[in-house]
């Protein structure tokens, strides 16, 4: 391999401050998490908000009490957190594939106006610990208007046996570019990777590992922030990403229903993708072609075809995250539109899942989606209480801090880092600066813009 400066840059990744499992500190963290969950539940029921409920309990009105929406919501939410925590502790990644069992693998990297970053992405894939005689890297320039093609050609010249450069005459969007890559790929395993991301050396072996199981059609990698030291916003997003993957997707993986295998890094059974490729590429919603959310859409298509989707913690990709509020909002608008569309689809697909996975998926997705109406009604009530009693704002701020502090304990178990503090900051930032995004996304579901630049 060429030891060029760009190669060195591509592989210079932030190091996670992880610690071995099973030590005293690990056991203390797990105990603290369960203590925190119980403590939050106790504080909630001791608050004045639940005085009417406690009065009903003292009068023995148990039937009416169990039907109160507040009680139902809290009981379901508490159960979900406990369930997720238990599954998170149960989860373990699959063993990486060995040289003997490694199948042919095609990495597909779509790029649009990415500039020099795409070269670093290609270099990280070329430097991966995977047998090169079974590795193919396809890079698609999706009609870029900048110098992206120059950097793709430069990387291809260094690795002519590995890298296949493809240039589209016009911009088709990420879904169209990926479809072109899928059609050209010859591997038994497809790996999708974003052009603003770099993978760790063992990522490809790790991703291929779970596909030994013929029932697995998709594997989600672990996404962390490449530019986490670039400012306050990337630091907060790094903590959020670790929680979204190492906590939520770990739990989902145990019942083999990881709802979204991310575009930044995911692996697919090639034969399964080929079976659903046409319907995935031509997906429409409310009469409009779907141009975003291709990762979750493909995951849903594979669920519908009878496959499972799992998470592989040891397959790590470092991706650039937004450093400005405007770009962050664009990203979340795109994600939330995709979430709403694909949740509607999943509500029909989930009934085809095996019963032992279906029940867990139904419960999780139901409670998760209820958080939106409950959350916005709660905000309305909070504003109403605030007008009567300004001290309400203090209680609300304390509640946000208490809940987010408990969640940072999950982060501390994954990465022993003082960055956990940014998880608490993100909770406040999200409440005050991002609450408007979901309603806006719901009102603009037919929008087709990618909102990436």
Q: What H or E segment, with its residue span, contains residue 25?
A: helix 24-46
Beta-carbon contacts of residue 306 (< 8 Å; ≥ 6 apart): 352
Domain range for 139 is 105-323
At 192, which CATH number? 3.90.550.10
- pLDDT at residue number 115: 94
Q: Does residue 372 fall inside a structural domain?
A: no
Per-residue model confidence (pLDDT) at position 50: 54
Number of domain units in the chain? 1
The verdict on residue 100 lying in a domain is no
The answer to whether position 286 is within a domain reads yes
Phi, psi (rounded to 5 degrees) for 307:
-95, 160
Question: Does residue 246 fall inside a structural domain?
Answer: yes
In a domain, residue 414? The reply is no
In a domain, 54, yes or no: no
What is the pLDDT at residue 71? 58
pLDDT (0 to 100) of residue 1: 36
Residue 421 is assigned to a structural domain of this protein: no
Q: pLDDT value at position 397? A: 85
Number of other CB atoms surrounding residue 368 within 10 Å: 15
Residue 106 near residue 190 (C-beta atoms within 8 A): yes
CA distances from 286 to 237, 283, 348 (A): 32, 10, 16
d(C-alpha 335, C-alpha 330), whole Å? 9
Residues in the chain, pLDDT under 70:
1-22, 44-74, 447-453
Ordered DSSP codes for 259-270: S---TTEEEEEH
Residue 142 lies in a domain: yes
Provide the pLDDT for residue 67. Answer: 46
Q: Give residue 124's pLDDT.
A: 97
Indicate the pTM of the whole model: 0.89
Report yes or no: 137 and 122 within 8 Å, Cβ to Cβ: yes
* pLDDT for position 55: 60
């Amino acid at each position: 391999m060429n030891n060029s400066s760009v190669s060195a840059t591509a592989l210079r990744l932030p190091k996670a401050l992880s610690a071995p499992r099973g030590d005293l500190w690990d056991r203390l963290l797990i105990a603290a998490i369960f203590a925190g969950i119980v403590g939050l539940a106790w504080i909630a029921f001791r608050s004045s908000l639940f005085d009417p409920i406690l009065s009903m309990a003292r009068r023995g009105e148990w039937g009416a009490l169990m039907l109160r929406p507040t009680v139902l919501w809290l009981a379901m939410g508490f159960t979900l957190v406990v369930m997720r925590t238990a599954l998170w502790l149960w989860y373990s990644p699959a063993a990486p594939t060995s040289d003997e069992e490694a199948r042919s693998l095609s990495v597909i990297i779509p790029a649009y106006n990415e500039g020099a970053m795409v070269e670093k992405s290609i270099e990280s894939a070329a430097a991966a610990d995977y047998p090169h005689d079974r590795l193919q890297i396809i890079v698609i320039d999706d009609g870029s208007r900048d110098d992206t093609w120059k950097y793709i050609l430069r990387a291809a010249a260094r690795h002519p046996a590995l890298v296949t450069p493809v240039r589209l005459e016009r911009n088709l969007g990420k879904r169209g570019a990926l479809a072109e890559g899928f059609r050209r790929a010859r591997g038994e395993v497809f790996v999708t990777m974003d052009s603003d991301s770099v993978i760790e050396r063992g990522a490809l072996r790790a991703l291929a590992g779970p596909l030994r199981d013929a029932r697995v059609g998709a594997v989600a990698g672990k996404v962390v922030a490449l530019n986490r030291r670039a400012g306050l916003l990337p630091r907060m997003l790094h903590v959020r990403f670790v929680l979204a993957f190492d906590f939520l997707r770990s739990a989902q993986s145990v019942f083999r229903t990881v709802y979204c295998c991310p575009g930044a890094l995911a692996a697919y059974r090639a034969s399964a993708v080929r079976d659903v490729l046409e319907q995935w590429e031509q997906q429409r919603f409310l009469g409009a072609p779907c141009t975003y959310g291709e990762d979750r859409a493909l995951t849903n298509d594979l669920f519908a075809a009878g496959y499972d989707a799992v998470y592989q913690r040891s397959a790590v990709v470092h991706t650039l995250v937004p450093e400005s509020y405007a770009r962050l909002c664009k990203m979340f608008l795109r994600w939330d539109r995709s979430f709403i569309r694909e949740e509607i689809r999943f509500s029909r697909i989930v009934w085809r899942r095996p019963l032992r996975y279906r029940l867990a998926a139904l419960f999780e997705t139901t409670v998760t989606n209820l958080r939106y109406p409950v959350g916005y009604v709660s905000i309305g009530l909070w504003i109403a209480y605030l007008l009567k009693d300004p001290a309400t704002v203090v209680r609300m701020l304390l509640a946000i801090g208490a809940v987010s502090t408990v969640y940072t304990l999950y982060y501390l178990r994954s990465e022993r880092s003082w960055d956990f503090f940014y998880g608490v900051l993100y909770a406040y930032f999200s409440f005050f600066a991002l609450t408007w995004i979901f309603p806006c996304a719901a009102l603009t579901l037919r929008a087709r813009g990618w909102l990436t630049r």
